[in-house]
Structure 1
Amino acid sequence: MTYNCNKKIGKKIDCLESFIKSDIDAIELKRAIAVRMALSGNIYHEISNILGVSNFFIGYWKKQFKTKGIAGIKLGHKGSKGYLTARQNTEVIEWLKDKEYCKSNEMLLI
C-alpha cells in the first residue's frame, strides 16, 4: 500500500493512522505510534513511559518520518535469499509432513 503524506500535520497524522490500521509489523507499529503521538503534541517523556521507548527512539523515527515519510519508518531489511529452490523447499516440507517424529541427526541434514 502506498501512503502519500502531505506537509500539513493533520494530513501526516491521518497518513500515520492509515498505516497503523494496516497489517504491519509490531516494530513498525511502535515506530508509527511514537511518531503519531509526537506529532500530536505529546511530550517525549510521556510517550517513552507509555511505549517503553527512549527519547532518542522517538526523535529518530520522527525525523525519519519527516524526511522520508512512511518509508522512513518501515523495516529496511527484506531477509536473505533462501538456499533451496522452490521445488527443494516443497520436497523438504512434504518429507517433514510424512514424519511422525524426527531424530536429532535427521534434523541436522535439513
Structure 2
Amino acid sequence: MEELLNFIDTARDARELKRALAVKLTLEGYVHAEIIKILNVTSGFISKWKQAFEVDGVDGILLGYQGSTGYLYKEQRMEVIEWLQQKDHWLVEELATHLSQQYDVEFKSRQSYYDLFTQAGLSWKKTQKRNPKHNVEEVAAQKKLSTNACSSIKRMWSRTR
C-alpha cells in the first residue's frame, strides 16, 4: 500500500492516477458502486486495474505505450529549423523534398511538416495574390454607395454649421 500511495503522490499522467485511485479505494474497502460515482469509471475498470496491481504492483497500472521515436534526431530537427528560417518563402513540398534528400525522412502526415514550420516560427498558410471571390461589379457598386454616403454626410454637416 505504501508503494501505491507514493505512486499516487508522484503520478504524472491522469490515466495512471485514476487507475491508482481505483485500486486504493478498493483496498480501503470501498464498494464498486461508490468508486464508480467518485471516479466516473466502470466496474470492469476497477476490477482490471486491481488485478493488474495484485499481479505486477505499481508497474501493472503504468501506461504501456510510451510513444515512438521521432524520425529526425534533435540535431537534425534544429538544422531543418535553421534552414527554414534562412529562406525567404516556404512550401510544404519543398520541405518534404529537402527532408527526403538530406535525411532520408518522409513523414506520413502533412501535420508533421506543419509542426516543423511552427517550431521555426513560420506560417505555412498559402497566400493568394487576389481574392478568389472578387467581383468587379460588386466592388464598383460598393464604392458608389460609399461615395454617395460620404457626400450626403458632408452636405448635412455643412448645413448644420
TM-score by length of 2: 0.52
Matched residue type, 1:51: L
Match of 1:104 among 125, 129, 143: 125
Match of 1:90 among 73, 78, 87: 78
When Rg is computed on C-alpha atoms for both structures, the one with the higher figure is 2
Displacement, 1:98?
A: 5.4
Change in 2 beyond 3 A, CA 1:92/1:30: farther
Displacement, 1:104?
A: 2.8
Displacement, 1:93?
A: 5.0
Change in 2 beyond 3 A, CA 1:90/1:49: same
Paired residues in the alignment total: 92
Displacement, 1:103?
A: 2.3
Secondary structure at the residue paired with 1:104? coil
Instruction: Give me the whole-angstrom Cα distance separating, in 1, the residues matched to 2:81 and 2:14.
Output: 28
Structure with the larger RCO, 1 or 2 (CA within 8 Å, 6+ apart)? 1
Alignment of 1:1-110 (within 5 A): 12=1, 14-93=2-81, 95=85, 96=118, 99=121, 101-104=122-125
Give aligned-pair identity as a percent.
42
**Coordinate RMSD, CA, aligned:** 1.8
Instruction: Give me the whole-angstrom Cα distance separating, in 1, the residues matched to 2:81 and 2:51.
Output: 43
Deviations 1:27-75 (A, max 9, x none): 0000000000000000011001110000000000000000000000001
In structure 2, the gaps of 5 or more residues are: 86-117, 127-161
Stretches of 4+ aligned residues off by more than 6 angstroms: none
TM-score by length of 1: 0.74
Instruction: Give me the whole-angstrom Cα distance separating, in 2, the residues matched to 1:24 and 1:60.
Output: 21
